[in-house]
Amino acid sequence: MFNNYQELFTQQLWLAPVIAIVALWTLTWKGLALYRAGANRSVAWFVVLLVFNTLGILEILYYFVFSKKPQTALPPQA
């Protein structure tokens, strides 16, 4: 098999870009979901999203299904 990580990456050149793309994908969705969970003051969701790594699946579900959209301030009516 592979004796060390350097040998793995030199023999499997496709692996480094795949890892970089997956990391960027996960980091983007995790950041969006954590921001929304913090804005909604949802401590339980914030902790779950922070602890578990699901390659963005749980984060996407939270962002689009489970979370409420942050309320925007309405201009005062005259």
Q: Please write the tens of the pLDDT for every residue from 14-24.
A: 888 998 999 99
Task: Please state, in angstroms and rounded to a whole number, the distance separating the CA atoms of residues 71 and 6.
Answer: 49
Confidence of residue 12 (pLDDT cuts 50, 70, 90): confident
pTM: 0.71
Q: Is residue 54 part of a domain?
A: yes
Q: Do residues 26 and 56 lie in contact, with contact meaning Cβ atoms separated by under 8 Å? A: yes
Q: Is residue 41 part of a domain?
A: yes
Overall average pLDDT of the 59-66 stretch: 91
Tell me the chain's radius of gyration from C-alpha atoms. 19
Q: Is residue 59 part of a domain?
A: yes
Q: Do residues 36 and 8 lie in contact, with contact meaning Cβ atoms separated by under 8 Å? A: no
Q: How many domains does the chain have?
A: 1
**6-10, 35-39, 43-47, 71-75: the lowest-pLDDT one:** 71-75
Burial class (CB in 10 A: 0-12, 13-18, 19+), 44: exposed
Q: In sequence order, what DSSP letters do the residues of 56-77 get, joined into one string? A: THHHHHIIIIISPPPPPPPPPP
Q: Is residue 44 part of a domain?
A: yes
Confidence of residue 38 (pLDDT cuts 50, 70, 90): very high
